[in-house]
């Protein structure tokens, strides 16, 4: 806040009153326009020793997100960006923690906050302020905040109009300070006529300064029955040069003005100088930035000027609005442009602007303002352009049927659109159609129709096209990723990469996080588990920088990270990420990812041998899968786990009944064949189990990935074991280990219950002794590694070669045998061992293993390959 | 209880001081008469129009003395 003396005089009593009030947690300054609320705040906050954060509520603010981001920006620095799925609660929690340092939060013009959501969260903020924090709110009329508990606790102070009123002595001081000579009776008359109203006194002082006959001015004023504000503003204006009057009247229709805009509306140069002079003269013009380029007029003042504009230059009003709209659109300020276009009465143009900028506005976090603008359109008039905007609102609110209906209207309108805008509209409709299809889990056919999104040029201005194109790439890549199929995977990767790069280039972190999260999710089809984990962690790190670590946008990366950790046997860390995913999915973001959440939770239980809990999760997943019409991949995966879990729990009848409902295509898939093998094993028919997995092992059955083949080998091994064929069982186990080696997959061994099978495998017969030991450790429930490695003494980084040797230490292989498996000489192994012991600060092999576990050097996800 | 009274009613709204021509343009739907040092605005208003008028009075810094349904 500007440190300038805003009243010209020192109103020490009033400032002291605010000082007293502000020892309470919340102070409300509620008084009519022009009472001097803001001036009081400036005088109070301008003194040293206050840590204040000032938020000026925008006129008619309807976006809770814009409001809360302004609050955060006032309190602290940090990378922040608007998001289409704003989490008000989390943001308010962040504000609360930032305030804990003892900051006083000042919110000016709270009556302008026109968002019930924001007011509800503000009530929560005010009733939960940390002990050292304070809040001061100014408003023209009492705002509905539920603060009675604070009032009862004596933590609410109020300063009202009567407190703000100038006393007669203060009136005289004010006149003296302004260099106005007025008799004592004249000063008393002025005080009486204005009733100590701050704005009235300031206006009078402006007219009195340099007035040839101040006594006459006061006498005429007090003898006149006109309202104080109107009389004084008219008087003050008349005393300004005509071009200044003209500037004030013409620019009054702007919420904020700069020199360039004022030049444009007056048709004269030099407006910036005039605005600066007016502010210096204390004439109800206030600069909004330290550089003094933007100004706003006192609301009361501008409202009266607007009336004058309409009364004196009615035919100019729409022309001025149009000029302002053009300026705002050229400067990328879309909401203002739309408002002025509407005020000009150009509803068709306003609708077109809304449709063209709908994606950008959503990304800017202005969705609520956008929908409010749509609601303001006159009823009955048909504006097909708005269907697109309405569809976005419906989609955001989860009204999927209405969204579909609006999208159909928008699509029907595409052909009637002029060619230069047709493509843009097409892209927007296709992009939303993809998004809707995903929410419904109906992807079949949609991607083919939307394929054109990936190619293509965008006409019109670059920034507008870039937002739209980045959203289109994200939605297309996401839809492709969620088909979970090999054919679409390269496209998904390419489109999401392009989308992320474009988003970064145009400064849209939300889209970048969205693309990277989906990319992490999509990775597993083509990439290793380690690469998938790396991508997921990268996306999560970027999301966390913006405070979106538990937001829906990052959920795909969270769930995939949890899943890959569980597959590699890191159950505890996987469980933590699973919990984060649950938080991120508290709002509905579609059935498919919720299904994946339950499926992964089931896998975690199954991996820990808790089949009953696993059964419940798989049951929920199966139910969700039945609602997905076109995601056979996801549904089949779930069914397979449910079947196998039922069989493992001895519920063979239920499993067979479910199996009977599957069509041939699904029943013939490798996943379901494996599940059938589990059923047959449970029925005591190992030979039949072998027959069931035969087609998986010889490559005839379709499989989604190696994990299915690993599982098939293990089931075959278990069957051979039952049949007493030791050699075949060992071979099967060894083949499973070979396939699991590169990704170090532990889960298939845990889920299939292959411990005995692995324990029977002679160590000297396997080429995968290290992995074997890791798996057995995991199946035995080895003590979890220490969570906080920082509590341990620092350790020199092990080289990749040393890490490779380290993995063999838990096995009972000798140095010669390790050398054989790694194709190096025993001397090399000895050198590595010496270095490992030195770096880990241990003396022998068993303490090296213990230490390596504590440091998580033996955990699969952390290792370089 | 009728929460959404759809029928407009005649209201008299008394404001302190004489409203000038400029300020009166803010109330195009109302008729104004001077009553001593005050101004009385009368007109047919439904509920949302009434609250719109009251908001306008607040925005213009006018002093509201009385609102009466006729």
ipTM of the complex: 0.84
Determine the residue of chain A that is closest to B63 in CA distance. A227
Q: Are B25 and A311 in contact (CB < 8 Å)?
A: yes
C-alpha span between A815 and A184 (Å, rounded): 106
The tokens describing A809, both together, are 């230490």
Task: Please tell me which of the candidates A141, A300, A310 has its beta carbon nearest to residue B60.
Answer: A300
Task: Give the start-to-end residue ranges of the domains of chain B.
Answer: 9-69
Q: Which has more confidence, A30 or A808?
A: A30
The tokens describing A229, both together, are 């504000």
Q: Are A226 and B61 in contact (CB < 8 Å)?
A: no
Strand order in the sheet with A294-297: A257-258, A294-297, A285-287
Chain A contact present for B48, CB below 8 A: no
Task: Give the start-to-end residue ranges of the domains of chain A.
Answer: 12-163, 168-238, 460-562, 789-862
Q: Are A226 and B17 in contact (CB < 8 Å)?
A: yes
C-alpha span between A720 and A731 (Å, rounded): 10
Please report which confidence band the pLDDT of residue A799 belongs to, taking 50, 70 and 90 as the band edges: confident
The tens digit of pLDDT for each residue in A113-152 reads 998 889 999 999 999 999 889 999 999 989 888 888 899 9
Q: Are B22 and A303 in contact (CB < 8 Å)?
A: no
pLDDT at A535: 95
Long-range contacts of A450-456 (CB under 8 A, 24+ apart): A450/A475, A450/A476, A450/A479, A451/A476, A452/A426, A453/A427, A454/A491, A454/A494, A454/A495, A454/A498, A456/A423, A456/A427
Best mutation target among A59, A109, A227 (most B Cβ atoms within 10 Å) is: A227
Please report which confidence band the pLDDT of residue A317 belongs to, taking 50, 70 and 90 as the band edges: very high
- Inter-residue contact A68 to A82 (CB < 8 Å): no
The tens digit of pLDDT for each residue in A439-455 reads 787 777 777 777 677 66
Chain A contact present for B33, CB below 8 A: no
**Residues from chain A contacting residue B61 (CB–CB below 8 Å):** 32-34, 199, 227-229, 300
C-alpha span between A703 and A670 (Å, rounded): 5
The tokens describing A54, both together, are 């000032």
Cα-based torsion angle of the residue sequence B37, B43, B46, B48 in order, rounded to the nearest 10 degrees:
-40
Partners of A297 in beta bridges: A285
**Residues from chain B contacting residue A308 (CB–CB below 8 Å):** 22
Mean pLDDT value across chain A:
87
Chain A contact present for B65, CB below 8 A: no
- Inter-residue contact B62 to B26 (CB < 8 Å): no
C-alpha span between A784 and A773 (Å, rounded): 15
C-alpha span between A768 and A623 (Å, rounded): 39
Listed range (A76-90, A287-301, A575-589) with the worst mean pLDDT: A76-90
- Inter-residue contact A341 to A352 (CB < 8 Å): no
Inter-chain CB pairs, A–B, below 8 Å? 62
Percent of residues, chain A, with pLDDT higher than 70? 94
- Assign A240 to helix, strand or coil: coil
Count the Cβ atoms, other than its own, within 10 Å of residue A722. Answer: 16
Chain A contact present for B28, CB below 8 A: no
Task: Please tell me which of the candidates B18, B37, B61 has its beta carbon nearest to residue A33.
Answer: B61
DSSP track, A782-850: PPPPPS-GGGSPP-PPPPHHHHHHHTTTTS---HHHHHHHHTS-HHHHHHHHHHHHHHHT-SSHHHHHH
Q: What is the pTM of this model?
A: 0.77
Please report which confidence band the pLDDT of residue A633 belongs to, taking 50, 70 and 90 as the band edges: low
Query: Which residues of A have a CB under 8 Å from any CB of B?
Result: 32-34, 140-141, 199, 224-231, 234, 299-300, 303-304, 307-308, 310-311
| Nearest Cα residue to A713 out of A661, A767, A757 | A757
| Nearest Cα residue to A522 out of A513, A509, A535 | A535
Q: Are B20 and A310 in contact (CB < 8 Å)?
A: no
Please report which confidence band the pLDDT of residue A629 belongs to, taking 50, 70 and 90 as the band edges: low
The tens digit of pLDDT for each residue in A801-843 reads 888 888 888 877 888 888 887 888 888 888 888 888 888 888 8
Listed range (A60-64, A83-87, A273-277, A321-325) with the worst mean pLDDT: A83-87
Residue A267 neighbours by CB under 8 Å, 6+ apart: none
| CA distance, residue B36 to nearest chain A CA (Å) | 9
C-alpha span between A819 and A824 (Å, rounded): 5
SS3 content of chain A, % helix, strand, coil (to 5): 65, 5, 30
Determine the residue of chain B that is closest to A226 in CA distance. B18
Q: Produce one character per residue of A414-436: b if its CB has 16 or more CB atoms within 10 Å, e if not.
A: beebeeebebbbbbbbbbbbbbb
What DSSP character marks residue A226? B
pLDDT at A676: 94
Q: Are A225 and B37 in contact (CB < 8 Å)?
A: yes
C-alpha span between A14 and A6 (Å, rounded): 13
Chain A contact present for B6, CB below 8 A: no
Partners of B14 in beta bridges: B40, B66
pLDDT at A271: 95
The tens digit of pLDDT for each residue in A162-215 reads 999 999 999 999 999 888 999 999 999 999 999 999 989 988 998 898 889 999
C-alpha span between A406 and A753 (Å, rounded): 52
Q: Are B61 and A300 in contact (CB < 8 Å)?
A: yes
Task: Please tell me which of the candidates B19, B26, B59 has its beta carbon nearest to residue A33.
Answer: B59
Task: Please tell me which of the candidates A32, A227, A311 has its beta carbon nearest to residue B17.
Answer: A227
Q: What φ, ψ does residue A393 adopt, rounded to 5°?
A: -65, -45
Q: Which CATH superfamily is domain A12-163 in?
A: P-loop containing nucleotide triphosphate hydrolases (3.40.50.300)
Helical spans, DSSP H, in B1-70? 21-24, 47-59
**Residue A791 confidence (pLDDT) above 50:** no
CATH architecture of A460-562: Alpha Horseshoe (1.25)
Q: Are B59 and A227 in contact (CB < 8 Å)?
A: no
Interval A97-121 mean pLDDT: 91
**Residues from chain B contacting residue A192 (CB–CB below 8 Å):** none
Task: Please tell me which of the candidates B15, B22, B58 has its beta carbon nearest to residue A311.
Answer: B22
Chain A contact present for B59, CB below 8 A: yes
What DSSP character marks residue A743? T
pLDDT at A235: 87
**Residues from chain B contacting residue A141 (CB–CB below 8 Å):** 58
| Nearest Cα residue to A514 out of A485, A483, A466, A546 | A546
Best mutation target among A161, A192, A230, A314 (most B Cβ atoms within 10 Å) is: A230
Determine the residue of chain A that is closest to B26 in CA distance. A307
Beta strand A156-160 with B64-69: parallel, antiparallel or unpaired? unpaired
Please report which confidence band the pLDDT of residue A789 belongs to, taking 50, 70 and 90 as the band edges: very low
Q: Would you say domain B9-69 falls under CATH 3.30.70?
A: yes
Per DSSP, chain A holds a count of helices (H) and strands (E) of 46, 8
Cα-based torsion angle of the residue sequence A587, A590, A593, A594 in order, rounded to the nearest 10 degrees:
60
Just give the CATH number of A789-862: 1.10.10.10
The tens digit of pLDDT for each residue in B27-60 reads 998 999 999 989 999 999 998 899 999 999 998 8
Residue A241 neighbours by CB under 8 Å, 6+ apart: none
C-alpha span between A192 and A188 (Å, rounded): 6
**Residue A578 confidence (pLDDT) above 80:** yes
């Amino acid at each position: 806040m500007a440190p300038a003396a805003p009243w010209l005089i020192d109103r020490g009593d009033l400032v002291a009153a605010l000082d007293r009030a502000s020892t309470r947690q919340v102070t409300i300054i509620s008084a009519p326009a022009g009472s001097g609320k803001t001036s009081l705040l400036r005088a109070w906050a301008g003194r040293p020793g206050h840590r204040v954060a000032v938020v000026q509520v925008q006129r008619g603010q309807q976006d809770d997100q814009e409001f809360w981001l302004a609050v955060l920006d006032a309190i602290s620095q940090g990378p922040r960006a608007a998001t289409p799925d704003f989490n008000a609660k989390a943001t308010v929690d962040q504000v609360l923690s930032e305030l804990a340092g003892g900051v006083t939060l000042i919110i000016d013009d709270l009556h302008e906050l026109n968002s019930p959501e924001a007011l509800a969260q503000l009530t929560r903020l005010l009733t939960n302020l940390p002990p050292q924090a304070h809040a001061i709110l100014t408003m023209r009329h009492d705002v509905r905040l539920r603060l009675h508990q604070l009032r009862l606790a004596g933590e609410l102070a109020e300063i009202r109009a009567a407190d703000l009123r100038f006393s007669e002595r203060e009136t005289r001081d004010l006149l003296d300070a302004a260099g106005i000579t007025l008799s004592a009776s004249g000063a008393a008359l002025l005080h009486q006529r204005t009733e100590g109203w701050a704005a009235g006194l300031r206006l009078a002082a402006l007219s009195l300064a340099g007035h040839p006959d101040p006594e006459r001015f006061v006498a005429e004023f007090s003898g006149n029955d006109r309202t104080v504000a109107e009389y004084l503003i008219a008087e003050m204006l008349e005393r300004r040069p005509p071009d200044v009057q003209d500037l004030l009247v013409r620019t009054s229709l702007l919420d904020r003005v700069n020199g360039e805009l004022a030049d444009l509306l007056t048709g004269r140069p030099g407006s910036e100088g005039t605005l600066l002079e007016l502010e210096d003269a204390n004439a109800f013009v206030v600069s909004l930035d330290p550089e003094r380029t933007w100004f706003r007029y006192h609301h009361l003042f501008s409202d009266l000027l607007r009336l004058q504009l309409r009364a004196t230059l009615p035919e100019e009003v729409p022309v001025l609005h149009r000029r302002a709209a053009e300026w705002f659109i050229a400067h990328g300020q879309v909401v203002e442009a739309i408002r002025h276009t509407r005020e000009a009465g150009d509803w068709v143009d306003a609708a077109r602007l809304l449709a063209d900028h709908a994606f950008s506005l959503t990304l800017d976090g202005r969705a609520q303002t956008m929908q409010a603008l749509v609601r303001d359109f006159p009823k009955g008039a048909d504006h097909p352009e708005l269907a697109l905007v309405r569809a976005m609102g419906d989609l955001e609110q989860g009204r999927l049927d209405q969204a579909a209906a609006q999208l159909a209207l928008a699509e029907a309108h595409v052909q009637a659109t002029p060619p230069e805008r047709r493509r843009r509209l097409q892209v927007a409709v296709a992009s939303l159609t993809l998004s809707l299809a995903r929410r419904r889990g109906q992807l079949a056919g949609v991607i083919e129709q939307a394929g054109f999104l990936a190619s293509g040029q965008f006409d019109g201005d670059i920034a507008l096209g870039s937002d739209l194109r980045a959203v289109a790439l994200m939605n297309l890549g996401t839809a492709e990723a969620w088909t979970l199929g090999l054919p679409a995977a390269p496209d998904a990767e390419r489109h999401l990469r392009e989308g992320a790069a474009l988003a970064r280039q145009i400064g849209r972190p939300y889209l970048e996080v969205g693309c990277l999260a989906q990319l992490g999710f999509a990775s597993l089809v083509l990439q290793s588990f380690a690469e998938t984990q790396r991508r997921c962690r990268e996306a999560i790190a970027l999301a966390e920088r913006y405070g979106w670590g538990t937001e829906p946008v990052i959920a795909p990366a969270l769930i995939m990270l949890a899943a890959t950790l569980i597959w590699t046997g890191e159950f505890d860390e996987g469980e933590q990420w699973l919990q984060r995913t649950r938080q991120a999915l508290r709002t509905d973001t579609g059935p498919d990812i919720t299904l994946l959440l339950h499926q992964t939770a089931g896998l975690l239980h199954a991996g820990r041998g808790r089949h009953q809990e696993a059964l419940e999760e798989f049951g929920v997943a199966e139910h969700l899968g039945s609602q997905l019409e076109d995601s056979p991949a996801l549904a089949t995966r779930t069914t397979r786990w449910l079947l196998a879990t039922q069989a493992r729990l001895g519920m063979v009848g239920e499993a067979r009944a479910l199996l009977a409902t599957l069509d041939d295509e699904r029943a013939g898939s490798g996943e379901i064949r494996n599940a059938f093998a589990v059923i047959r094993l449970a029925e005591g028919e190992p030979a039949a189990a072998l027959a069931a997995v035969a087609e998986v092992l010889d490559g005839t059955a379709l499989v989604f990935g190696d994990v299915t083949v690993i599982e098939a080998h293990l089931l075959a091994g278990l069957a051979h074991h039952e049949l007493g064929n030791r050699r075949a069982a060992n071979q099967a186990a060894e083949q499973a280990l070979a396939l699991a080696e590169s990704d170090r997959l532990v889960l298939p061994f845990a889920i299939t219950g292959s411990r005995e099978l692995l324990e029977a495998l002679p160590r000297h017969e396997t080429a995968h002794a290290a992995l074997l030991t890791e798996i057995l450790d995991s199946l035995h429930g080895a003590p979890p590694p220490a969570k906080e490695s920082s509590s341990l003494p620092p350790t020199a980084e092990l080289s990749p070669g040393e890490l490779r040797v380290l993995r063999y230490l838990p096995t009972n292989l000798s140095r010669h045998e390790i050398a054989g498996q790694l194709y190096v000489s025993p001397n090399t192994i000895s050198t590595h061992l010496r270095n490992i012991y030195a770096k880990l600060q241990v003396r022998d092999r068993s303490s090296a293993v213990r230490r390596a576990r504590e440091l998580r050097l033996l955990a699969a996800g952390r290792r370089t390959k | 209880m009728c929460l959404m009274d759809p029928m407009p009613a005649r209201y008299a709204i008394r404001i302190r001081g004489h409203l000038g021509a400029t300020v009166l343009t803010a109330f195009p739907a109302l008729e104004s008469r001077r009553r001593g040092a005050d101004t009385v605005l009368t007109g047919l208003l439904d509920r949302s129009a009434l609250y719109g008028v009251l908001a306008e009075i607040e925005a213009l810094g006018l002093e509201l003395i009385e609102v009466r349904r006729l």
